């Protein structure tokens, strides 16, 4: 006869519950941890680790630029305001970086606008999206891609969109 302790769940149920809790925690942390467009700059190191790249930071007069060179050679720049918010991102290299990671909460707006633009234009061409609160420009060809995205309203005083490159 097997006696079960009434205060404990069977081992299999307990392990599944723990795994689910850990997975939910990891997901919650990962969603908020990236220095995505419009996000907090304190997580630039997390982006560096996720991209498996090296980090170099440059302080400009009105903002900071955090440059991440990925293991594949793509250069990603994250532009951070004095308030600590990412107001722009840019990339160049052989591969397009994970735009969902870089654009964060703006990714859905970008994705929808890109689908609309592709539906209205035949063939391959640079992508230029200018929506309320978001500008994205991408282009290039195999092994040589460039792009930038920024939130015009978040540009620090005295900084123009030309600074994001």
Residues 139 and 127: beta-carbon distance below 8 Å: yes
6 within some domain: no
Domain count, the chain: 1
104 within some domain: yes
pLDDT at 20 over 80: no
The mean per-residue pLDDT over the stretch 11-35 comes to: 43
2 within some domain: no
138 within some domain: yes
pLDDT at 96 over 50: yes
Longest alpha-carbon distance in the chain? 78
4 within some domain: no
Predicted pLDDT at 34: 54
70 within some domain: yes
The mean per-residue pLDDT over the stretch 21-27 comes to: 37
Predicted pLDDT at 10: 54
In the sheet that holds 54-59, the strands lie side by side as 54-59, 64-69, 75-80, 86-93, 144-150, 134-141, 127-131
165 within some domain: no
pTM of the model: 0.77
Q: Rounded CA gap, 148 and 107, in Å?
A: 13
Which residue segment(s) compose the domain that 56 sits in?
34-157
Hey, what are 36's tokens?
């995505």
Q: Rounded CA gap, 59 and 66, in Å?
A: 9
């Amino acid at each position: 006869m097997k006696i079960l302790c009434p205060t404990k769940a069977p081992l299999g149920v307990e392990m599944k519950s723990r795994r689910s809790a850990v997975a939910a925690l990891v997901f919650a942390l990962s969603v908020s941890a990236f220095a995505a467009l419009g996000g907090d700059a304190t997580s630039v190191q997390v982006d560096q680790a996720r991209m498996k790249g090296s980090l170099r930071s440059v302080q400009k007069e009105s903002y900071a630029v955090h440059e991440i060179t990925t293991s594949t050679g793509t250069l990603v720049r994250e532009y951070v305001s004095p308030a600590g918010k990412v107001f722009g991102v840019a990339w160049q290299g052989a591969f397009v970086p994970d735009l969902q990671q870089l654009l964060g909460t703006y990714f859905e707006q970008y994705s929808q606008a890109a689908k609309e633009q592709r539906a209205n234009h035949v063939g391959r061409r640079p992508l230029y999206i200018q929506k309320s609160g978001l500008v994205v420009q991408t282009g290039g060809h195999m092994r040589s891609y460039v792009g930038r995205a920024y939130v015009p309203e978040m540009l620090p005083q005295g900084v123009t969109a030309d600074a994001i490159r």
